[in-house]
């Protein structure tokens, strides 16, 4: 078992920095790991934890459907027939579903491009902890509101977070507290608040749940904001966790925070999310002490954890299974896929079992080994090739001047605080080819023009090339994002190529047999075969990278 | 589900694939060669989903009820367009391919199937059918997933559930991860996508040893199971000589039933197949369009049944057809119908007790313009689980539902 003693600066290196970035973030951007490795461990951890000073301008979602208050909603329905009401409701549900889908992609794109990885990693933690699903909470605005709370309060004070979550429209709806009244208290929120959100099973009685539910009666929403409806609140005396009084919701939260179980429960969960499945009881006890000593501020706990010897122990490093989100975010960086449409990112995590904004139930995602079964593992192994294709599609759309504002926002990789670290410049939408195509078709009939433009926009690469040839327009060079992976590597032999690429992508060493198999992708069995980045054609690049990312090792972080 | 049980199951899947399953885990009374690995018998259930909300009243039509013709002056089906099932009900004659099965007593029509407090959203109602939840209950796992989790023995392989789709249906959702999805069984497996044949390299990079009980060890075992399972799917596809999946065109996906017949013929260890088609959301211009859809489904089902007979597998298979809801009684102004509630379901197979089951909803007793359901869909699930799959329905459904006499036991 490790200790919470800070890691010895003498053993701080790139591998340790990568571990920090994997866990406190999504393992990306690669340059940030290099940057962290060059700092002292303390400075590196502070850089990750105290991220507020790092500038990040990500476009606010402008696609949300404005939530109506209950009054506005009934005013809108007034005078409508049953039929018309149904239609209105269906239209509203359709629009909300679409907006929620866009929001999933928005968040993934944000995770992909943020220079403040811990902010998003914590938001994802709280999304799984205080799980609400758009399956029931239909409003995109309500979903976003809670998502934003996880961002603004996610590394702040836990008591503030619990209160804000309890008052969020998404949680009020998801666990039915918005229907909880003095006459008919609903116990859903009260139960989960103790069982899943703060104390853990076995720390309270069924009667505590009933009494706690009474305390929260009146915590409600008018559809637009939190409302404490005094008329629905039970002002009578309650006995909760051994104390008696006329507690309301705020006072009830105070009572929960007096329980010693709370700090242990939350720190255990943080340990399992950031460090290891197996709980290090001593480390968790120390973190819980820090949590209490600091009035339930999260940053001191996170800082202590990320700096601790225990966090960098052998049994902790590279033993986690990447969540679908981590896998997708990391893959797009590892393979330099900057133009995957955000919707495809969201679809990918969903097909792997992590449908963002739709956790399976109030317990969130089980994580780790539960991500893996024969079906999802094959999907994981087949994902790299699919994302390469999606990225090429996204690139082609940009080339014709289409594309998507959110995607562009992520384009520049200007996410580094230190400008010297900035990666390659943004790809600018190139409309020159499209204009040439249009010019060549001037004399064509309208139908013909439209048909050809359709091929130009949506056709596969072969169809597009044929069209350009037919029109006599010079085809732009084929977009091959993968060459970016090799551009920065400095190898002279096939063996070095395999070793360096594996080191870039994997967090564990590979065996000699695996190296041999990877060499076959380069068309040789001799590691001494002379080979430089220039010698690698796109097919070989793809074969090597797809094999590497189709390894069980690549699922680890 | 504890991790150790989970790992055990995964490991068993690996061993069984390699023929190393301990004898005591295979079945006591059945000949192992005759049963689906992980189960006591060789029975198969095929689920066919009609997405969009199939118009029940124009599928099974109450031709003696004037209210029907009153509600549907434009799209109501005259008697000459109906195949009489009894003196009240007629089947849309677009479905004539199924009539011989009705006459033989192998097609069950279950009238008025739905659930309390019906939801008219496609998405939500489909979810209710997939998870077998109440209308105000939100479940993550699916009914088929729960069936696998609680009823497979340790020798079951991931392909006990197979959906012919790119993604697993919500109905397969489970904690043990049984069930796979592929829209192309003949190519199911690791697909490098670059046209190169490096499968041996893929197996080599994933073949190494890993420390016992490590995460990597778990991943290696699951990879082996996935390779094994996908190669069995491909082998069955090859052995069953399935045609490549057809693309495009309405109803094309229903021809995936050909693929299912092929995989059954090829000996795949699959208990439940899942096939879906869509397009039933007939809000406008329903006449003709709906007939085309029904004709496609009926034709595919009849062809499927014929193929099973030819292959000698028909006694092993029961097929269930459902849609997430029926449609409004009154036609709308665009010659179509809007989202409704209860609708008929179909069961097809040699073991099916044919005929009309359940109670036909009354047209003079509507709930805000919609039919009142008479049979909860979970009664059909219960019947299939108990009488066809020999599973305890309470391991799948929270409440208990009365069985119906749908399967000849």
| pLDDT at residue A529, as a whole number | 96
pLDDT over 60 (residue B3): no
pLDDT over 80 (residue A164): yes
pLDDT over 50 (residue A408): no
Q: Which two tokens stand for residue B369?
A: 């313009």
| pLDDT at residue A432, as a whole number | 74
pLDDT over 90 (residue A167): yes
| pLDDT at residue A314, as a whole number | 93
- B272-277 and A243-245 beta bridge pairing: unpaired
The tens digit of pLDDT for each residue in B272-293 reads 999 999 899 998 899 999 999 9
| pLDDT at residue A395, as a whole number | 86
The residues, any chain, with a CB within 8 Å of residue A488's CB and separated by 6 or more, are: none
The tens digit of pLDDT for each residue in A99-143 reads 999 999 999 999 999 999 999 999 999 999 999 999 889 999 999
The tens digit of pLDDT for each residue in B307-322 reads 999 999 999 999 999 9
| pLDDT at residue A453, as a whole number | 86
| pLDDT at residue B395, as a whole number | 94
Window 376-405 of A, Cβ < 8 Å to B: 376-378, 381-382, 385-386, 388-389
A186 Cβ under 8 Å from any chain B Cβ: no
* Residue numbers in B near A520 (CB within 8 A): 198, 201
| pLDDT at residue A515, as a whole number | 95
pTM score, two decimals? 0.81
How big is chain B by its Cα radius of gyration, in Å? 22
The residues, any chain, with a CB within 8 Å of residue A287's CB and separated by 6 or more, are: A4, A267, A270, A271, A301, A304, A305
Backbone angles phi, psi at B278, to 5 degrees: -140, -175
The residues, any chain, with a CB within 8 Å of residue B346's CB and separated by 6 or more, are: B98, B107, B108, B109, B110, B319, B320, B321
Confidence of residue A223 (pLDDT cuts 50, 70, 90): confident
| pLDDT at residue B244, as a whole number | 65
Query: Of A57, A79, A27, A9, which is closest to residue A556 (Cα–Cα)?
Result: A27
Question: Between chains, do A551 and B201 touch, taking CB under 8 Å as contact?
Answer: no
Backbone angles phi, psi at B317, to 5 degrees: -120, 135
A351 Cβ under 8 Å from any chain B Cβ: yes
| pLDDT at residue A273, as a whole number | 98
* Residue numbers in B near A546 (CB within 8 A): 192-194
- Where is average pLDDT lowest: A113-122, A400-409, B206-215? A400-409
Mean pLDDT of A373-388: 92
Contact between residue A284 and residue A264 where contact means Cβ atoms under 8 Å apart: yes
The tens digit of pLDDT for each residue in A63-89 reads 999 998 888 988 998 999 888 888 898
| pLDDT at residue A422, as a whole number | 30
The tens digit of pLDDT for each residue in B55-87 reads 999 999 999 999 999 999 999 999 999 999 999
| pLDDT at residue A460, as a whole number | 65
Of all residues in chain A, what percent carry a pLDDT higher than 90? 74
The tens digit of pLDDT for each residue in A293-320 reads 999 999 999 999 999 999 999 999 999 9
State the DSSP string of A162-229: HHHHHTSHHHHHHT-GGG--SSS---HHHHHIIIIIIS-TTSS-HHHHHHHHHHTTTEEE-SSSEEE-
pLDDT over 80 (residue A518): yes
Confidence of residue A415 (pLDDT cuts 50, 70, 90): very low
Mean of the per-residue pLDDT values for chain A?
A: 91
Mean pLDDT of B162-180: 89
A337 Cβ under 8 Å from any chain B Cβ: no
Interface test with chain A among B205, B227, B281, by most A beta carbons within 10 Å: B205
pLDDT over 90 (residue B234): yes
Residue A380, min C-alpha distance to chain B (Å)? 10
B233 Cβ under 8 Å from any chain A Cβ: no
Instruction: Report the C-alpha gap between B79 and B286 in whole angstroms.
Output: 18
Residue A518, min C-alpha distance to chain B (Å)? 7
A516 Cβ under 8 Å from any chain B Cβ: yes
pLDDT over 90 (residue B194): no
Mean pLDDT of A208-222: 96
Question: What ipTM does this complex have?
Answer: 0.86
Question: Between chains, do A97 and B123 touch, taking CB under 8 Å as contact?
Answer: yes
Instruction: Report the C-alpha gap between A510 and B207 in whole angstroms.
Output: 12
Question: Between chains, do B201 and A514 touch, taking CB under 8 Å as contact?
Answer: no
CA A185 to chain centre: 35
State the DSSP string of B184-237: -GGG-S---SSS---HHHHHHHT-S---TTSHHHHHHHHHHHHHHHHHHHHHHH
B226 Cβ under 8 Å from any chain A Cβ: yes
For CA atoms A213, A215, A217, A220, the dihedral sign is negative
pLDDT over 70 (residue A427): no
CB contact burial B87-99 (16+ within 10 A = b; e otherwise): eebbbbbbbebbb
Helix-, strand-, coil-residue percentages of chain B, each rounded to 5: 40, 15, 45
Confidence of residue B209 (pLDDT cuts 50, 70, 90): confident
Residue B93, min C-alpha distance to chain A (Å)? 31
Mean pLDDT of A239-254: 98
Window 199-238 of A, Cβ < 8 Å to B: none
Q: Which two tokens stand for residue B346?
A: 């179909």
Interface test with chain B among A375, A501, A536, A557, by most B beta carbons within 10 Å: A375
B121 Cβ under 8 Å from any chain A Cβ: yes
Residues present in chain B in total: 409
Confidence of residue B191 (pLDDT cuts 50, 70, 90): confident
- B161-163 and B89-92 beta bridge pairing: unpaired
pLDDT over 70 (residue A424): no
| pLDDT at residue B197, as a whole number | 57
Instruction: Report the C-alpha gap between B41 and A169 in whole angstroms.
Output: 50
pLDDT over 80 (residue A431): no
Instruction: Report the residue of chain B nearest A368, measured CA to CA.
Output: B215
Question: Between chains, do A369 and B215 touch, taking CB under 8 Å as contact?
Answer: yes
Question: Between chains, do B226 and A389 touch, taking CB under 8 Å as contact?
Answer: no
* Residue numbers in A near B9 (CB within 8 A): none
Query: Of B147, B8, B57, B97, which is closest to residue B369 (Cα–Cα)?
Result: B57
Question: Between chains, do B198 and A520 touch, taking CB under 8 Å as contact?
Answer: yes
Question: Between chains, do A133 and B218 touch, taking CB under 8 Å as contact?
Answer: no
pLDDT over 60 (residue B5): no
Mean pLDDT of B167-180: 88
Instruction: Report the residue of chain B nearest A380, measured CA to CA.
Output: B190
Residue B150, min C-alpha distance to chain A (Å)? 17
pLDDT over 60 (residue B2): no
Instruction: Report the residue of chain B nearest A387, measured CA to CA.
Output: B193
* Residue numbers in A near B214 (CB within 8 A): 319
End-to-end CA distance of chain B: 33
Question: Between chains, do A375 and B189 touch, taking CB under 8 Å as contact?
Answer: no
| pLDDT at residue B245, as a whole number | 54
B225 Cβ under 8 Å from any chain A Cβ: yes
Query: What is the SS3 assignment for B158?
Result: helix
Contact between residue A371 and residue B5 where contact means Cβ atoms under 8 Å apart: no
Give the position of tokens 């695996």. A514
| pLDDT at residue A464, as a whole number | 77
Higher pLDDT, B2 or A120: A120
pLDDT over 70 (residue B94): yes
B141 Cβ under 8 Å from any chain A Cβ: yes
Mean pLDDT of B219-239: 92
Instruction: Report the C-alpha gap between B53 and B337 in whole angstroms.
Output: 10
| pLDDT at residue A51, as a whole number | 98
B219 Cβ under 8 Å from any chain A Cβ: yes
| pLDDT at residue A283, as a whole number | 97
Query: Of B27, B44, B78, which is closest to residue B311 (Cα–Cα)?
Result: B44
* Residue numbers in B near A516 (CB within 8 A): 204
Higher pLDDT, A341 or A455: A341
How big is chain A by its Cα radius of gyration, in Å? 27
The tens digit of pLDDT for each residue in B150-159 reads 999 988 999 9
Instruction: Report the C-alpha gap between B233 and A443 in whole angstroms.
Output: 53
pLDDT over 60 (residue A430): no
pLDDT over 90 (residue B21): no
Residue A199, min C-alpha distance to chain B (Å)? 21
Instruction: Report the residue of chain B nearest A321, measured CA to CA.
Output: B215
End-to-end CA distance of chain A: 20
| pLDDT at residue B341, as a whole number | 96
Mean pLDDT of B115-138: 93
Confidence of residue B122 (pLDDT cuts 50, 70, 90): confident
Residue B1, min C-alpha distance to chain A (Å)? 10
B221 Cβ under 8 Å from any chain A Cβ: no
Confidence of residue B175 (pLDDT cuts 50, 70, 90): confident
B204 Cβ under 8 Å from any chain A Cβ: yes
Residue B100, min C-alpha distance to chain A (Å)? 39
The residues, any chain, with a CB within 8 Å of residue A557's CB and separated by 6 or more, are: A22, A23, A27, A318, A320, A321, A322, A326, A330, A507
């Amino acid at each position: 078992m490790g200790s919470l003693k800070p890691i010895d600066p003498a053993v701080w290196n790139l591998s340790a920095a990568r571990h920090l970035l994997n866990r406190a973030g999504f393992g990306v951007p690669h340059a940030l790991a290099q940057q962290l490795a060059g700092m002292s461990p303390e400075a590196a951890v502070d850089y990750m934890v105290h991220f507020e000073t790092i500038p990040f301008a990500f476009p606010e979602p402008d696609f949300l459907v404005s939530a109506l208050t209950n009054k506005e909603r009934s005013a809108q329905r007034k005078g409508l027939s049953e039929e018309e009401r149904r239609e209105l409701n269906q239209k509203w549900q359709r629009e909300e579903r679409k907006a929620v889908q866009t929001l999933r992609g928005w968040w993934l794109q944000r995770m992909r491009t943020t220079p403040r990885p811990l902010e998003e990693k914590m938001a994802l933690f709280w999304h799984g902890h205080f799980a609400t699903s758009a399956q029931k909470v239909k409003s995109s605005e309500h979903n976003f509101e809670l998502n934003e709370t996880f961002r603004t309060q996610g590394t702040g004070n836990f008591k503030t977070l619990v209160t804000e979550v309890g008052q969020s429209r998404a949680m009020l709806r998801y666990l039915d507290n918005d229907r909880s009244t003095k006459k008919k208290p609903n116990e859903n929120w009260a139960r989960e608040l103790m069982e899943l959100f703060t104390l853990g099973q076995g720390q309270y009685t069924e009667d505590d749940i009933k009494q706690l539910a009474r305390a929260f009666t009146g915590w409600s929403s008018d559809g637009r904001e939190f409302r404490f409806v005094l008329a629905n609140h039970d002002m009578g005396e309650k006995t909760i966790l051994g104390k008696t009084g006329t507690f309301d919701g705020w006072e009830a939260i105070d009572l929960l925070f007096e329980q010693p179980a709370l700090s242990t429960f939350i720190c255990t969960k943080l340990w399992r999310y950031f460090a290891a499945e197996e709980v290090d009881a001593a480390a968790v006890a120390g973190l819980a002490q820090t949590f209490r000593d600091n009035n339930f501020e999260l940053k001191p706990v996170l800082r202590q954890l990320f700096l601790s010897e225990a966090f960098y122990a052998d049994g902790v490093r590279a033993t986690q299974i990447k969540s679908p989100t981590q896998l997708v975010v990391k893959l797009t960086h590892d393979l330099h896929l900057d133009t995957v449409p955000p919707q495809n990112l969201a679809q990918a995590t969903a097909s792997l079992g992590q449908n963002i904004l739709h956790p399976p139930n109030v317990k969130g995602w089980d994580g780790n080994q539960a991500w893996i079964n024969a079906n999802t593992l094959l999907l994981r192994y087949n994902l790299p090739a699919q994302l390469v294709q999606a990225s090429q599609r996204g690139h082609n759309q940009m080339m014709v001047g289409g594309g998507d504002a959110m995607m562009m926002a992520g384009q520049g990789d200007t996410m580094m605080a230190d400008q010297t670290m900035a990666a390659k410049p943004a790809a600018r939408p190139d409309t020159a080819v499209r204009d040439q195509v249009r010019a060549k078709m001037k004399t064509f009939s309208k139908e013909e023009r439209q048909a050809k433009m359709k091929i130009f926009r949506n056709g596969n690469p072969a169809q597009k090339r044929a069209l350009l040839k037919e029109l006599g327009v010079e085809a732009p060079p084929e977009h091959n994002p993968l060459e970016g992976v090799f551009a920065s590597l400095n190898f002279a032999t096939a063996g070095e190529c395999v070793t360096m690429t594996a080191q870039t992508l994997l967090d564990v060493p590979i065996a000699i047999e695996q190296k041999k198999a990877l060499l076959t992708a380069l068309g040789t069995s001799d590691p001494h075969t002379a080979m430089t980045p220039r010698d690698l054609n796109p097919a070989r690049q793809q074969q090597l990278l797809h094999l590497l990312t189709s390894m069980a090792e690549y699922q680890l972080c | 589900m504890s991790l150790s049980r989970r790992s055990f199951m995964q490991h068993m899947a690996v061993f069984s694939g390699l023929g190393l399953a301990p004898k005591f885990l295979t079945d006591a009374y059945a000949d192992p060669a005759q049963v689906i690995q992980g189960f006591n018998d060789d029975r198969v259930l095929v689920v066919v989903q009609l997405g969009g909300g199939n118009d029940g009243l124009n599928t099974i039509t109450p031709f003696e009820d004037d209210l029907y013709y009153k509600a549907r002056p434009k799209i109501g089906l005259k008697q000459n367009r109906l195949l009489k099932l009894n003196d009240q009900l007629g089947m849309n004659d677009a479905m004539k391919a199924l009539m011989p099965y009705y006459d033989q007593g192998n097609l069950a029509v279950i009238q008025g199937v739905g659930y309390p407090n019906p939801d008219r959203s496609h998405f939500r109602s489909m979810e209710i059918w997939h998870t077998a939840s109440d209308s105000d209950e939100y479940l993550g796992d699916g009914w088929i997933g729960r069936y696998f989790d609680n009823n497979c023995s340790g020798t079951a392989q991931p392909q006990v559930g197979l959906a012919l789709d790119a993604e697993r249906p919500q109905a397969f959702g489970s904690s043990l991860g049984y069930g796979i999805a592929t829209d192309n069984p003949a190519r199911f497996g690791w697909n490098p996508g670059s046209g190169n044949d490096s499968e041996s390299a893929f197996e080599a990079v994933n073949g190494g040893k890993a420390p016992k009980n490590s995460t990597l060890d778990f991943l290696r075992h699951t990879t082996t199971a996935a390779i094994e399972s996908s190669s069995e799917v491909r082998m069955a596809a090859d052995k069953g000589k399935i045609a490549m999946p057809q693309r495009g065109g309405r109803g094309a996906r229903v021809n995936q039933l050909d693929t299912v017949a092929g995989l059954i013929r090829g000996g795949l260890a699959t208990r439940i197949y899942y096939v879906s088609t869509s397009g039933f959301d007939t809000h406008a211009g329903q006449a003709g369009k709906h007939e085309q859809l029904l004709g496609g489904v009926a034709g595919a089902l009849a062809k499927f049944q014929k193929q099973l007979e030819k292959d000698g597998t028909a006694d092993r298979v029961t097929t269930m057809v459902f849609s997430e809801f029926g449609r409004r009684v009154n036609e709308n102004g665009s010659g179509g119908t809007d989202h409704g509630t209860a609708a008929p379901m179909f069961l097809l197979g040699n073991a099916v007790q044919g005929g009309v089951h359940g109670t036909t909803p009354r047209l003079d007793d509507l709930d805000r313009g919609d039919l009142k359901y008479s049979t909860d869909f979970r009664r059909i699930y219960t019947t299939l689980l108990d009488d066809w799959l020999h599973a305890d329905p309470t391991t799948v459904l929270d409440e208990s539902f009365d069985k119906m006499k749908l399967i000849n036991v």
